[in-house]
Structure 1
């Protein structure tokens, strides 16, 4: 265990960039939103001052409308060193954008949970000051997602791009993406950065990227405004992960509110409303499994992916609802058990489109397994939580702090020194 701890700490120290941590030195040289939240959780065990600085740096780039951009660009890097870079996003076209160059999208709002866990791990007068600074910004983030992004009108946040889910090329997005007009030839105008550092067979395809570019162009063309999304935007989905994180954030904010002298009641009420809406809108009444809802068709997307397991992080799921998620996780699709060789894959391994090497279409990822691990403990399944934790530790011990992993062999894929893998490894190690 000491060896794993040293590996994780060395990875985080190697990726520290004066006021934030890059996900990796090769594939991702800027600051990413939900990466920084996960990174802060691990840093709380070893570098709590850095954990708070990580969150402060990210929220210093928050937009005036409350959105937290999914990328904050490092101005010291040369133009063209990453695609899609700041010149592609052109965030200055938006009135709400900050002075810093950012993207115009968001990622799952796991930041309030991260802030609470950092404080709980190392409570101090300094951490209370940090919570006081973050609290109104976290509230603004929630207000943006439950307000301007409530396209479906039921109290859930809609994502406007697959990148906002964090699971970029998940099979969950195949059907709504197929309706996005794009030609793979459009990518000839760009130089992809990811395939320089990783095998193209492990990454999203050029056609995927052509559609990603088309969706961003549509959003950027309206200066990243959300008014009228339902009538004009080519991709609109209610995602189980994003909305489970939204509900979990309200639970965390209720705890933070007590510390900073605010009223926790409104957060508790909003958390309950989000959970009810998520169950009403995204849970299949027949199977009990959770699915994204395509707002363009108003239909649940049938793919069974790890996204559907993420509502387990919500403490106010009923016993019946939680048991349905656990049953899905324990099925042959994902393989959760009290004793297991590997963490869960990102997609149904029994599906014909399961791809064990391609990004979010099959490989195992530390962050989604960590979220499931938290959910299992929340819903009092210590047996399954222990089995999942052991498989996560064994994976890192065998392959190191890779970005993602082959779900069968455990071989490391993507970046070989990935920050959130290292950080969440530290958190799992701390629960000895």
Structure 2
């Protein structure tokens, strides 16, 4: 298996190979392609992953350039899209045209963004940069942009005013083809052409509605409150409040209060006591989508979730691996779900293991002194990369790599290594 230092070296080389910068019609951009060919554009939460990875590699100035680029095309109302087309302006897939506003389709000759959003990790990414170099000037530079962005989310995607954000396309959660959306789409079974067609219809509907959000909400065609998306939203409201405190900004209390409302709604509406799981919700009436995806335990990271709930969820699903017992955890879908497919497919997030789940949960396990369990998640990722390289996702039973090659998300392993070392050093100093 590769040593920690060799892994760090390879991750650094990968990010720099995939990095691109330049200027186009007055915009300066600097970002890392998740993969050279498959994902050649700047993506929202991918950029945040790159920031965490760059900071872990002590390349803080490079991380700042990525964040500036991410917000360079921010609209006056605060919106930032999930895909940024800089120099290569035509979408990689023709179906991605439906994820643009009709007006942007007419202006493909200049930089533009998609009309969709992605999990809002940006506040945590900025806070990560600040913790690395204590640059208050950078916080003050980014804070107005962050505030406008999170206010846009609250004003435009919290349709009911209860603190939960809705996504309007399966692609907005960042977990394309997620199996919990199947009931919303009227689909059953493993991925196939019919699933592709049904998802395409959702994006087409939004496109022809000109991404008019009140009309899209009223239609109730695809209005989903994703557990992962909303957990990240709550975490980032707390991070934004902390950034406000650092910059002595008067809105610190506002964002802390907003985070509290979101956390209470997650507990009230998403938690299923009988199943000890947090489920995605659908429609105006908050119907639970009872499919055990890899996000059913995400909200345990929130401070307000009762300790006994955290213990029940973790013990049942993550630590005892009820439905998630595989050689290389954490699978993106429980193996006994009908849609489960561990192999390579265009219908991703329906079984394979993705590094991001392990990265997300490891930090919480370390915080709660599940040091050995956190180490197991890290060990799984190190084995996968050593065996199959930096791949988009992996077979949870064999460790075979699938999807895009030279995929940067796997670089999050260096952040995991640093966190694990930090916790173990802390324990050794105390002991």
Range into which the TM-score falls when normalised by the shorter chain: 0.7 to 0.9
Tell me the CA shift for residue 11 of structure 1.
1.0
Secondary structure of the corresponding residue to residue 404 of structure 1: strand
Measured against aligned partners, the alpha-carbon deviations of 1:64-104 in whole angstroms (never above 9, x if no partner) come to: 33232110013335x4644444x54443637xx99732111
What residue is the counterpart of 2:244 in the other structure?
257
1:215 to 189, 202, 206: 202
> Which residue is 1:28 aligned to?
39
Distance 1:179 1:235, change over 3 A: farther
Tell me the C-alpha RMSD between the 2 structures. Answer: 2.4
1:387 to 376, 379, 395: 376
Q: 1:232 to 1:318 in 2, by over 3 A?
A: same
Q: How many residues align?
A: 399
Correspondence 1:148-227 to 2 at 5 A: 148-178=156-186, 205-227=192-214
Shift of 1:9: 1.0
Q: Among residues 360, 364, 372, which one is paired with 2:361 in the alignment?
A: 372
SS of the aligned residue for 2:213 comes to: coil
The alpha carbon displacement at 1:341 in A equals 4.4
Structure 1 length normalisation: TM-score?
A: 0.86
Question: In the alignment, which of 393, 404, 407 is matched to residue 404 of structure 1?
Answer: 393
- Given that 1:91 and 1:101 are in contact with CA atoms closer than 8 Å, whether structure 2 keeps it comes out as no
Shift of 1:222: 2.6
TM-score, normalising length: structure 2: 0.86
Q: Contact (CA 8 Å) 1:5, 1:429: kept in 2 or not?
A: no
Q: Does 1:291 align with 2:291?
A: no
* Unmatched tracts of structure 2, length 5 or more: 22-29, 422-431
Distance in 1 between residues matched to 2:268 and 2:294, nearest whole Å: 19
| CA distance in structure 1 between the aligned counterparts of 2:45 and 2:259, rounded to whole angstroms | 20
Tell which has more relative contact order, 1 or 2 (C-alpha 8 A, sep 6+): 1
Alignment of 1:17-416 (within 5 A): 17-18=20-21, 19-46=30-57, 47-76=59-88, 79=90, 81-85=92-96, 87-91=97-101, 93=103, 100-120=111-131, 122-125=132-135, 128-178=136-186, 205-263=192-250, 264-295=252-283, 298-327=286-315, 328-335=317-324, 341-357=327-343, 358=345, 359-416=348-405
Distance 2:191 2:81 in 1: 22
Which of 10, 21, 24 aligns to 2:13? It is 10
The whole-number CA distance in structure 1 between the counterparts of 2:254 and 2:80 is 22
Deviations 1:231-258 (A, max 9, x none): 2252001110111001000111122112
State the alpha-carbon separation in 2 of the partners of residues 307 and 63 from structure 1. 31
